[in-house]
Chains A and B, each alone.
Chain A
Amino acid sequence: MAQATSPPEVVKEDERTRRGYSSDAAGLGNLRAGAFVAPALLLIAAFLVFPALWVLYLGLTNYRLTGAAAAEPQFVGLANLLDAVSNPTFWNSTWLTLQFVLGSAVIGQVVLGFSIAWMLRDRAGPLKRLVEGLVILAWILPSAVVSFLWVALLDRDGGTLNALLGIPGFPWLLDHPMLSIIVFNTWRGTAFSMMLYGAALGNVPPSHLESARLAGASGWQQLRDVVFPHIRGHILTNLLLISLWTFNDFSPFLITAGGPDGRSEVLAVHVYKVALQSGELGYGAAVSTIILLINLVVAVFYLRLLRSKK
């Protein structure tokens, strides 16, 4: 009897445990699991989702930091957005941001980061540790500290660079503000790309490179036919992350304050200036909304490329 009934029981129990395993591995149940997640969700809602939605709303008002419009903001619809797109300062900032992202992120950090990772790929010992240490140092220092260091480096009168080059009085930050912040951001952000590519290159099978070498492939042909196809996903992820980070980066303000005469006023700095310095919160929020949309487009573009792999 026992033998006759036991097999179906075993099957049922098996099934139950299998189902339980796939949907509720910790065995907490929905309520208790929800309780664990709730604090994090609340924090995200309070400090991320709500401010984002608040910005979207502010962009539709004439809200100001001070004055009558601060007490009783009026709903103005799309007026702020229309103001922004007809404002040459906004377009100037957008153009500068594009230069900043292409110059310091896409060309600077990706190319430099990959080159360092490629050159150090099968080195070991003190040289590799020294280079990596220096590059990573630029990344881990606080923004305020490195900005001060760069201001000291590029200063017109007592700057280290002018002293080294023997051209005292050359105004780097006045004559070449964009170049200065592009080089600064490249220097500062290369570590991330270098480490990411270093890890990615470790995943390229050595036999594939050797196979190409035996066929007589040059260094460039090995990169084109073996390395790049292998690390395509890493390249796109890296581009996505640093494009967005650079697009939203505020540290150029710490070096040039957007000047002189708006010549290094990237969008993040532009928003800060109009919203907080001029007090036009509504207009600033509208520009922020545009930035959000641009970021979204960039992210969707990269993610599409990433998915088209298969």
Chain B
Amino acid sequence: MAAIELRGLTKVYPGGVKALDSLDLDIPDGEFFALLGPSGCGKTTLLRTIAGLETATGGAVVIGDRDVTGVQPGGRDVAMVFQDYALFPHMDVTDNIAYPLRIKKVAKGARREKAEEVGARLGLERLMDRRPGQLSGGQQQRVALARVMATQAQAFLFDEPLSNLDARLRLEARTFLKKLQRELGVTTVFVTHDQAEALAMADRMAVMEAGHIRQIGTPAEVFQRPANTFVAGFIGSTPMNLLDGAVRGDTLEVAGCKVSVPASAEGRLTGGEKIVYGVRPEYMAYSAGPAEGALSGKVAIVENLGASHLVTLDVNDVLVQAVVPEGSEPAVGDDGHALPRRDRALVYRDGELV
């Protein structure tokens, strides 16, 4: 068990692509940490650089007070679960789990015992003699996890651990992984492009874009107070409303409507400046009748989300979305009014949170 520290980590690929641009990151011992971002943002490169599969162009990787920047992957005492699980097809489950121990020259009896112990813990007792080709996706994932656990490494790295599972299994595996990590208490870094996955599993997360970390925080912090418009647009299953506006005295003018200044931005704005007003559809109170400080327009689209509906209003040619609980959804063409919650709305100046 160890903390992971990155100091000014830079990775430039031959050809000049800068995948990581001088990153600093501290992951305390025992934390479940998510690297989140769109494809090509550098999150996988970052994970692979921690593992040593990519060599850093500059900066340092420190795992448990030991600078491992120049150390080969095998000497870093980290274990990784790959997206495709990377189980060896010609070995049975026992041999797959015991493989890292075999490389470490652990005696045959001892490593079989360890493999069986870890396998039993993950519910693989009856599958120990099978080949990976005879296992389902979920079982293969558990074998890959068992192999990682058997190494007793200082830190675990997961590369898109859930992306090869079908949608239903993914939810189960999410809960399972979080529980397992909590029980083991091993520092774990995982990469995902799915914001819901990161929010659900991580203790803390980093949102990345183009080789930079745009925000680090707990899922609650990142969801409620995105530090910039990139994170605001990326996090959340329904995208945040980001509306151009301007400061007019004590109020904001957004999409031709007057709305009150959010609590978080009070006293920090100057009259006349251009801003971006951000509010999540979940934090809008929808009503059929007019309300003070609401965004008013005609209902353009109604989408069914199951227990609620996503209503898109056309407010003076600007589209604004609001989540409406089931039973009170309007019809297309109705007049609608969406009142943002003052304590949840946010104001961005030049893309950064005010």
Interface residues of A (CB under 8 A from B): 205, 207-208, 210-217, 221, 225-226, 229-230
Of the A-B pairs whose beta carbons lie under 8 Å apart in the complex, a sample of 8, sorted by A's number, is A205-B84, A208-B86, A210-B73, A214-B74, A214-B78, A215-B100, A216-B104, A217-B103
6 further A-B contacts with Cβ under 8 Å, apart from A205-B84, A226-B88, are A208-B88, A210-B82, A211-B86, A212-B99, A212-B103, A216-B72
A210 adjacent to B53 (CB under 8 Å):
yes
A interface: dominant SS: helix
The reply to whether the CB of B181 lies closer than 8 angstroms to some CB of chain A is no
Contacts of A207 in B (CB 8 A): 82-84, 86
Q: Are B99 and A225 in contact (CB under 8 A)?
A: yes
Query: Which of chain A's residues have a CB closer than 8 A to the CB of B51?
Result: 210, 214
Instruction: For the complex, give the distance between the alpha carbons of A226 and B87 in Å.
Output: 10
Question: Which 6 pairs between the two chains have the least Cβ-Cβ distance?
Answer: A216-B74, A215-B100, A211-B86, A207-B86, A207-B82, A229-B90
Shortest distance between the CB of B140 and any CB in chain A (Å): 13
Is B333 interfacial (CB-CB < 8 Å)?
Answer: no
How many whole Å from A91's CB to the nearest CB in chain B? 40
| Contact call A214/B88, Cβ cutoff below 8 A | no
Cα distance A77–B121 when bound, in Å? 72
Residues on A with C-beta less than 8 A from B103 are 212, 215-217, 221
CA distance in complex: A60, B88 (Å): 54
- Select which of A213, A216, A221, A225 is within 8 A of B88 by beta carbon: A225
Complexed CA–CA distance, A229 and B87 (Å)? 13
User: Residues of A contacting B90 with CB < 8 Å?
Assistant: 229
Q: CB-CB < 8 A to B84: which residues of A? A: 205, 207
Q: Which residues of B contact A208 (CB under 8 A)?
A: 86, 88
A216/B100 contact (C-beta < 8 A), A207-B82, A207-B84, A211-B80 known: yes
B79 close to A (CB within 8 Å): yes
Q: How large is the interface on B (under 10, 10 to 19, 20 to 34, 35 or more residues)?
A: 20 to 34
Q: How far is the CA of A214 from the CA of B84 in the complex (A)?
A: 15
Contact B73 A214, beta carbon cutoff 8 Å? yes
Residues on the B chain within 8 Å of A210, using CB: 51, 53, 73, 80, 82, 86
* B151 at the A interface (CB under 8 A): yes
Are B83 and A229 in touch, CB under 8 angstroms? no
Chain A residues with CB under 8 Å of B151's CB are 215
Cβ–Cβ < 8 Å partners of B88 in chain A:
208, 225-226, 229
Contact among A211, A216, A230 for B75, CB-based, below 8 A? A216
Q: Which residue of A lies closest to B101 (CB)?
A: A215
Q: Which of A205, A213, A221, A229 contacts B73 (CB 8 A)?
A: A213
Q: A229: which B residues are within 8 A, CB to CB?
A: 88-90
Closest A residue to B76 by beta carbon equals: A214
CA distance A211 to B99 in the complex (A): 10
Q: What's the Cα separation between A215 and B74 when bound, in Å? A: 5
Contact of B86 (CB < 8 Å), options: A205, A216, A217, A221: A205
Cα-based distance from A205 to B89 in the complex (angstroms) = 11
Contact B99 A213 (CB under 8 A): no
How distant is the Cα of A210 from the Cα of B74 in the complex, in angstroms? 10
- Which residue of chain B has the shortest Cβ distance to A209 in the bound complex? B86
Question: Nearest CB to that of B81 among chain A residues?
Answer: A211
Chain A residue with Cβ nearest B100 = A215
A213 to B, closest residue via Cβ: B73
* Cα(A205)–Cα(B90), bound, Å: 14
Output the least CB separation between A212 and chain B (Å). Answer: 8
Of A208, A214, A216, the most chain B CB neighbours within 10 A belong to A214
> B89: nearest residue on chain A (CB-CB)?
A229
How far apart sit A306 and B57, CA to CA, in the bound complex (Å)? 45
Judging by beta carbons under 8 Å apart, are B89 and A217 in contact? no
Q: Is the CB of B80 within 8 A of A217?
A: no
Neighbouring B residues of A225 by C-beta, 8 Å = 88, 99
Cα A229 to Cα B132 with chains together (Å):
14
Chain A residues positioned under 8 Å from B99 (CB to CB):
212, 215, 225
Docked CA distance A217–B73 (Å): 10
Q: Which of A211, A221, A230 has the most CB of B within 10 A?
A: A211
A229 and B131 CA atoms in complex are apart in Å by 14
Interchain nearest-CB distance for A98 vs B (Å): 31
A226 contact set on B, CB distance < 8 A: 88
When C-beta atoms are compared, the residue in chain A nearest to B53 turns out to be A210
Specify which chain A residues have a CB less than 8 angstroms from the CB of B73 in the assembled complex. 210, 213-214, 216
Asked if residues A213 and B75 are in contact (CB atoms below 8 Å), the reply is: no
**Chain B 140-184 near chain A by CB (<8 Å), digits 1 or 0:** 000000000001000000000000000000000000000000000
CB < 8 Å neighbour of A213 from B53, B83, B89, B104: B53
Cβ contact within 8 Å between B82 and A211: yes
Bound-state CA distance A216–B102 (Å) is 10
- Distance A207 CA – B90 CA, assembled complex (angstroms): 15
CA distance A211 to B53 in the complex (A): 10
Report the separation of the CA atoms of residues A208 and B80 in the bound assembly, to the nearest whole angstrom.
Answer: 11
Give CA–CA (A183, B7) in the complex, Å.
54
A217 nearest CB neighbor, chain B only: B103
A214 touching B80 by the CB < 8 A rule? yes
Residues of B within 8 A of A213 (CB): 53, 72-74
- Min CB distance, A201 to chain B, in Å? 16
Chain A contacts of B79 at CB under 8 A? Answer: 214
Closest partner residue, chain A, to B96 (CB atom): A211
Of chain A, the residue at the smallest CB distance from B157 is A214
Q: What's the least CB distance linking A307 to chain B, in Å? A: 16
A215 to B104, CA, bound (A): 8
User: Could you say which residues of chain B place their CB within 8 Å of the CB of A214?
Assistant: 51-53, 73-74, 78-80, 100
- B199 vs chain A, min Cβ distance (A): 27
Which residues of chain A are within 8 angstroms of B74 by Cβ–Cβ distance? 213-217
CA of A175 to CA of B75, assembled, Å: 52
